Homo-oligomer: A and B are copies of this chain.
């Protein structure tokens, strides 16, 4: 097993190059359940949209040539031969000198090639005065002008939002082929970790990480499966990891990766299949004991037990892998510029991540104020932080008032 602490950049590169996303398979999603899913196929239109020449105005369908030279003083005079109802194939034809009443969205009848707005006409019985000259196609949306039959309208890999789902509806599709969602097994290790919902036994703490990590998996487009708390027992852990690997596409554990006497996770992962552990500790703070391996193609992230380290490790390493496996582009965390509200110190030789809260000062400058990390087990740190400031290995500190980039945990600053 590879035991050298890697730099943050080495670890990122190692994971990036060793991880090869595979095809998860596809499934049908009903259109109203396809929000935020990833298309697994190109969508080719089997229709012209609009499917017919369509009026874009309320008025009269006419022959443009019948209105040549017409203006307010010299209207063209036409005979209204009938009306086109919306939603129907017109039964009438427009002959020379004729006009047909029409509404927005209705089919242009045969013989007509323009629509005059009702505001540009006056009518008495069947006699229509047209006070403007029309050009051919005026106020008509041509068949196929929005989408052509046979055109690729959406592409494999696109994430479906409201406008994409609108396009699929335009084609009449009730369901659509989408990529399956990666299943991510999440388990916690440690004899001190207790499951929720029961009274807390002495000496134990509730399982925090499984819940924050399952939620982070959902946020990142995966489907978490919570496998519970596994005892720090080699046989039990081996069995749990084997079960997880058999059913999930990716595996996340927390706890059991420091150097304590019962930390078996990395050894077991390494024994379960090739290539095994790829990253065994990273020169970063917090999060140093993180290990990352691959059993066959499946990535296994073993995150520290400290809730802040675990979630930070997820964001930095597991989230990009999960996004790639989902068929999504890797979305970098959103960033904002701010000024350091206090001096922030780095850990010597380690990439340091300082959790910060954003605040405005009296001059309306955005200030990044470090959130006290407390001792390494603090749960409230992340809940109180809006994001983090990254300090390079060769920098000793960020000075007060220095401009910094804040990587945001949520979409925007402050509580949303």
A residues with CB within 8 A of B: 31-32, 35, 47, 49-52, 54, 56, 58, 85-90, 103-107, 140-141, 145-147, 153-154, 158-174, 190-194, 196-198, 200-216, 218-219, 224, 226, 232, 258-262, 305, 307, 311, 328-329, 331, 334, 374-380, 382-383, 385, 409-412, 415-416
Judging by beta carbons under 8 Å apart, are B154 and A192 in contact? no
Q: Apart from A50-B205, A146-B378, A163-B409, what 17 extra A-B contacts exist at CB < 8 Å? A: A35-B219, A86-B203, A90-B203, A103-B260, A105-B205, A105-B305, A106-B192, A145-B375, A145-B378, A146-B380, A147-B379, A162-B212, A162-B216, A166-B209, A166-B311, A331-B411, A331-B416
Which 3 A/B pairs are nearest by Cβ-Cβ distance?
A166-B212, A141-B375, A169-B211
Given known A87-B203, A141-B377, A190-B105, contact A383–B416 (CB-CB < 8 A): no
Chain B residue, CB-CB nearest to A225: B32
In the assembled complex, how far is the CB of residue A383 from the closest CB belonging to chain B, in whole angstroms?
A: 4
A68 to chain B, nearest CB (A): 23
Residues of B within 8 A of A193 (CB): 87
Contacts of A409 in B (CB 8 A): 161-163
Bound Cα distance A162, B409 (Å): 9
> What residues of chain B lie closer than 8 Å to A202, measured between beta carbons?
52, 88-89, 107
11 contacts between A and B (CB under 8 A): A56-B376, A86-B191, A87-B204, A105-B377, A141-B377, A145-B374, A163-B383, A166-B311, A166-B379, A170-B205, A411-B411
Residue of B nearest to A175 (CB): B197
Residues of the B chain whose Cβ atoms lie less than 8 Å from the Cβ of A173: 196
Cross-interface CB contact of A169 among B212, B258, B415, B416, cutoff 8 Å:
B212
Q: Which residues of B contact A205 (CB under 8 A)?
A: 49-51, 105, 170
| CB proximity of A171 to chain B, nearest CB, Å | 7
A166 and B383 form a contact (CB under 8 A) = yes
Min CB gap A326→B, angstroms: 12
B374 touches A146 (CB 8 A): yes
Q: For A210, what are the chain B residues with a Cβ–Cβ distance below 8 Å?
A: 169
Cβ of A170: which chain B residues have Cβ within 8 Å of it? 205-206, 208, 307, 379
Q: Residue of B at shortest CB range from A206?
A: B172
A86: chain B residues within 8 A (beta carbon): 190-192, 203, 232, 260, 262
Check if A31 sits within 8 Å of B196, measured CB to CB. Answer: yes
- B168 x A211 contact (CB < 8 A): yes
For A214, the chain B residues whose CB sits under 8 A away are: 32, 165
